[in-house]
Amino acid sequence: MAVAIVTGASKGLGRALAVALARQGWDLVLDARTGPVLEEAAREVRAHGTRVVALRGDVTDGWHRAALVAAARELGGLDLVVGNASALGAEPLVRLEALPLDGLRAALETNVVGALGLVQEALPLLRASGAGAVVVVSSDAAVEAYGTWGGYGASKAALDRLAAVLAVEEPGLRVWAVDPGDMRTDLYRAAVPADDDSGRPLPESVVPAFLRLLARRPASGRYVAPALLEVDA
């Protein structure tokens, strides 16, 4: 049975992806910072009959990252790491002139340092898998200059670069950075609370793009979810 770690799995894209993987028979290790919401997500995922370990914690904590990988090892190994946990740096987002430097550091710690730390911890199991893969959730803010999105976008751009270099250094793995596009999530509401997001698609709508990557295993690289969904349209 394939095993995946999904961070930021209590809601939004992480939760939607965890449910979809469970439907396909994956065993899962789920992470989030808020325990009650994570347990609720874990119950939904377990309803599909797979084994689920839910660990509350923060990916910036090395002990927590080690615990996530240890849980995967107990389930039999590790085939996939999904780095979905994200921090904005400021809520709501602000212009660079007002961006708290501690907020920027927090975004970098979660979106870049924590993500890489988890991959470092997981590499031995991923290499042993024979079909190991890493997915990091990127953003269009990593490649486009949007006002107020500078700190978050910088962290995602750094994450993209780490993913690209990891793919070169680990040719036996698949390493994909995926920009899911606009979504209706709590993260977006926190970023731009004055914006009406009712017209934005739900995270569930982009999950098929991630599943397509896992099924087809294209070359490592950066992908945009809507483009992946258009391949067979």
- Which residues are part of the catalytic machinery? 152
Strands (E), 100-160: 133-137
From residue 136, alpha-carbon distances to 6, 75, 139, 151 in Å are: 10, 22, 10, 18
Name the amino acid, one letter, at 132: G
For residue 217, give both structure tokens: 């295993």
The CA-CA-CA angle for residues 65, 172, 80, to 5°, reads 35
Distances (CA, A) of 216 to 119, 144, 210, 224, 231: 22, 28, 10, 15, 12
And the tokens for 11? 């809601």
Separation between Cα atoms, residue 42 and residue 144, nearest integer Å: 35
Per-residue CA distances from 228 to 189, 208, 224, 231 (Å) = 25, 9, 7, 6
Report phi then psi at 31, rounded to 5.
-130, 145
